[in-house]
Amino acid sequence: MSGFASLRLIASAALLGVLIHSPLASAQGAAATGQATITLGPSGLPLPRFVSLKPSRVNSRVGPGANYSVNWMYVKAGLPMEVIQEFDTWRRVRDSDGAEGWINQSMLSGRRTAIVTPWQRNKDVRVNLLYKPNKDARVIAMIEPGVMGTIKACDGQWCEMTFDGHTGWLAQSLVWGAYPGEHVKD
């Protein structure tokens, strides 16, 4: 088990409903109309969508209810999660490692966070945090894969993010917490 996987004892965040336009296209609907369609869950919010964990200790359960056993405990407030299903006040979520479970909506927040290239964890690579959204811009900081930051905005190609007091721009394709082409506003 990787060090990150053992830290799966993270936290669930309460969904505030402060969600933005997400290009969540249904292939069939998009093909028929030429327009992207958004699938809405019973809450009226888009599925899938990104949220973050509110508290620093959140149980992920094997089913949608407190009577189901706990399969993970997350211990990191702000961790991004992808909501993929809804049932009553429960949300089926997926983390950046692909693990899934059910978390009560009160543990989820609409605050947007993201993890830098989690697929490159434990590799000797760095991602440049740039002064402006341009590949030739000045480098503000070098970010290691797996580091979590707060999304301020995404324009579909670039995300402005804050990491431990450093704010700059990353290519949107380098973060897990915003969909390709998605526009996010703080």
Which pLDDT tens digit goes with each residue over 52-82? Answer: 999 999 999 999 999 999 999 999 999 999 9
Q: How far apart are CA 89 and CA 67, in angstroms?
A: 14
Q: Same structural domain for residues 93 and 118?
A: no
Q: What is the structure's pLDDT at 1? A: 37
Q: Are 178 and 172 in contact (CB under 8 A)?
A: yes
- Asked if the model's pLDDT at residue 25 lies above 90, the reply is no
What is residue 5's three-state secondary structure?
helix
pTM above 0.85, yes or no: no
Query: What's the mean pLDDT when you consider all of the chain?
Result: 84
**Last residue within a domain, chosen from 54, 89, 111:** 111
| Residues of the domain holding 21 | 3-111
Q: Same structural domain for residues 162 and 141?
A: yes
Q: How far apart are CA 78 and CA 113, in angstroms?
A: 7
Structure tokens at 157: 């190609």
Q: Same structural domain for residues 102 and 10?
A: yes
- Asked if the model's pLDDT at residue 186 lies above 90, the reply is no
Could you give the count of Cα atoms lying within 13 Å of 142 in the half-sphere of its Cβ? 3
Q: How far apart are CA 92 and CA 112, in angstroms?
A: 17
Q: How far apart are CA 155 and CA 50, in angstroms?
A: 16
CATH number assigned to the domain comprising residue 33: 2.30.30.40
**Last residue within a domain, chosen from 52, 86, 111:** 111
One-letter amino acid at 15 equals: L
